[in-house]
Structure 1
Amino acid sequence: MGNLTSCSCINQERLKEDQIITAAAKSDSAIGISYQKYESNMIPEIKEIYIKYLNGKGNSIRNIQIIDRGLGEIGCMLLSLIIPELPNLEELNLVSNQIGTSGAIKLSSELAKLDNLCILIIAYNHIGDDGIMAMSSAIPFLKNLKLISFEGNEITNEGAKNITNNLKEMEHLKIFNIKNNEITGRGMKKIAEALSDISTLEEFYFDIDEIRSKDLDIIEEILLGVSLNTHKEI
């Protein structure tokens, strides 16, 4: 009897959730319309986020982690649509999702609205210099960031300029990762100079393969007291 009652309660709860989702999806809100239109093509991670939001649980979402999913244009659009509605989001971790430059630009326009974001990882997504320019423009608005990783994104010295222009705004940054890109010693020194203004910085991840020992010495001097992780992975 107890099991039957338990099953009945579970079924009622599921029915209630289904009804909420159906009603919300049929609403004229952008998120409801998008869910209705793309639900069958959503990757599980994004679908779960939409369902929670449509059930009134958007405030409970603190972490988004999507790895090796190949988001594509539609996936980036759906993600950029929902993240501004998640006021308590603390971590956005996107690794190897083929975001590309266009995806980075689309996401960056909404990133600035994530006031509580502490961890931003956009790694191995081929965003390039134009993508990092867009992403960097959102950084000054993310005052609570403690960890930033742009590892493996085909960023050159040109893209590094955009990074340096905005890093100085960080007030709580502890870890910055720019490994596996195409930044030379000249560009890396510029980044180090920008990071030197951040009193909270503890670790800086970068490559030394293309950096002369003289430039490395300069970087070490600029970031005296900061751990330079030139070989470890993050």
Structure 2
Amino acid sequence: MRKIFFLLLLSLICISNICAETVYMTVGDTKTLSPTVLPTKVLAGQPAWTSSRPNDVKIVSTTMYSCKIEAVKSFSGYATIHCLYYYRELDPTTGQYIYQRSGYVDYNVFVEETEIKSIEISPTNIALNYGETYRMSVTILPSNAKQNVTWSSSNSSVAFVNSNNILGANGYGTAIVTATASNGLSASCTVTVKKEGSGSENSGDNNGDNAQSSTNYDEVDYYYQISKRRMDALRNKAIQQHNKK
């Protein structure tokens, strides 16, 4: 008798619960989940939908029989979208819906990384005075692909770019700074650093709109040294002019 009861209970669990379905999405996609089991149930209220990774796969909206989700970003593994519902069953004796039971539906959502097609830096040539900064402009297509890049410089003693895409001119000469996307694609920009008063202007599309003041530069120690060098240079120039009088 106990064995029969156990098998009956197991069969009820199998009927009430559905194995997890697999859903594949890319970043930026939206999808509406509509479990086929729900319309066949007499629901006792609206189901509760939850996401195991709400920052990666978020629930946009829900109705009585569906849920709209959005893939925010790619990640390793998967997110589980859980639908918990309560429903009533028919009493075969009275012909009324009196038994309330619970069931659930799970979806395992995989968010695939969008393939990067291209990366560009604009402008491709920049001229700065010693000590100036410039916010680099990087375009990665498509726009829903990973936008983070890794910066490198052929001569970091002349110019380099920090993690906030700020280019710093900390020496005289020429350097090539390169932005590399997560899939290995890269783009480069030639940076020329000249002494102040040489008459050079930022080249390419840079009309000075992107120039940064030193107070916005996040490398505090570095910029302290830059400011100190500039002040020393100005002081020495003033002393030389005074001695010539």
TM-score by length of 2: 0.22
Structure with bigger gyration radius: 2
Q: Larger % of strand: which? A: 2
Identify the structure with bigger relative contact order (alpha carbons < 8 Å, sequence gap 6+). Answer: 2
Give the TM-score normalised by the residue count of structure 1. 0.23
Which is richer in helix? 1
